[in-house]
Amino acid sequence: MAAYVSGDECPLDQCLVDLQTETQTGVSLVCGSEDMGIGGCGARVKADRIVTPKIQTLPAILVIRNNSLMDHELKRRLHVVYPETLDLTSHTQSHVAATYALSAVIFHHGHWVKHFSAHVKTEDKWYNFNDEQVSELTNRSATGNPSESHRNYFSVANVSQKYKHRPGLRVSRGAFVWIYVNTQSLATEARPVPPSDSVVEYVLVKQNESVNVSHQQQAEMRKEKETLLSQCAVTDTSESYTLISEPLLSAWYNDDGLKYTPQPSILAQALCEHQTLQPA
């Protein structure tokens, strides 16, 4: 949904372009059509009419974009007064309850800067997100313009003070996107329920199968190590062989996650006077 701000401190619900009444002139109508009612002579005429858009289906999440933030000059931006609870009941086709709770506000930091920050509501608390910096919102008044952690961020000091004691209302001239959530959707939001007994039983069976497979894999790895040890055993001292220390060999055998890459031995005590390796 689009919004266009035509005056300073304009209420958001009056800025919604898609819901504004439109006067159409010279519309071609047929006498007897749905536009003119049942019956008629069938003649084609031109008439003026007033069209008031109505919402047929209420979205769970309502996203409103401020299309008026196109001016290069920040000082020329107009303030928008937006509520924490937006009531669109009068704009629905059947006048059903249509109340939306403010969930997030995205701010635009200038035409050329292309930088954005956001105020986001999480678990009944409001936070300011600006790149990697996250801080909780505060309503403390400041001597100058409100800081980015203030609910009236991006507003002029004197305008912000006007709405200081107006609960449920915020004001800003840098708000670019408003995100509202249908309060009915929040009330009927699905609650987590415990899984059924059949699901629990299935998960336990799969966990046991996984444990059994893990034990089987460990047994196979141990058998492979024992086979490798028998192949690496020195049976003929006249042939060349690699010396592995007993602690390292024990650690490799008992730790399934340990990998060992043979390296040349530099142990001085393992060398005889002829500089040759002797079997342990």
- The pLDDT value given to residue 154: 83
The string of pLDDT tens digits covering residues 18-31 is 777 777 777 777 76
- Concatenating the DSSP letter of every residue in the chain gives -EE---STTEEGGGTBGGGS-EEEEEEEEETTSTTT-S-----EEEEEEEE---BSS--SEEEEEETTTT-S-GGGPPPEEEESEEE-GGGBTT----EEEEEEEEEE--TTT--EEEEEEETTEEEEEETTEEEE-B----SSSPPTTBTTTTS-HHHHHHTTT-TTEEEESSEEEEEEEEHHHHHTPPPP-PPPHHHHHHHHHHHHHHHHHHHHHHHHHHHHHHHHHHHHS---TTS------HHHHHHHHH-TT----------GGGB-TTS-B---
Q: Is the pLDDT of residue 275 over 50?
A: no
The string of pLDDT tens digits covering residues 96-113 is 888 999 999 999 887 666
Q: Is the pLDDT of residue 87 over 60?
A: yes
Q: Is the pLDDT of residue 74 over 70?
A: no
Sign of CA dihedral 185, 191, 195, 196: negative
pTM over 0.85: no
Q: Give the residue with greater pLDDT, 132 vs 190.
A: 132
The one-letter code for the residue type at 68 is S
- The pLDDT value given to residue 96: 83
Average pLDDT over residues 116-120: 92
- The pLDDT value given to residue 150: 84
The string of pLDDT tens digits covering residues 220-270 is 777 777 777 666 666 666 666 666 666 666 666 666 655 555 555 444 444
Distance (Å, rounded) from C-alpha 163 to C-alpha 79? 12
The token duo for 79 is 């303030």
Q: Is the pLDDT of residue 69 over 90?
A: no
Query: 146 near 157, Cβ under 8 Å?
Result: yes
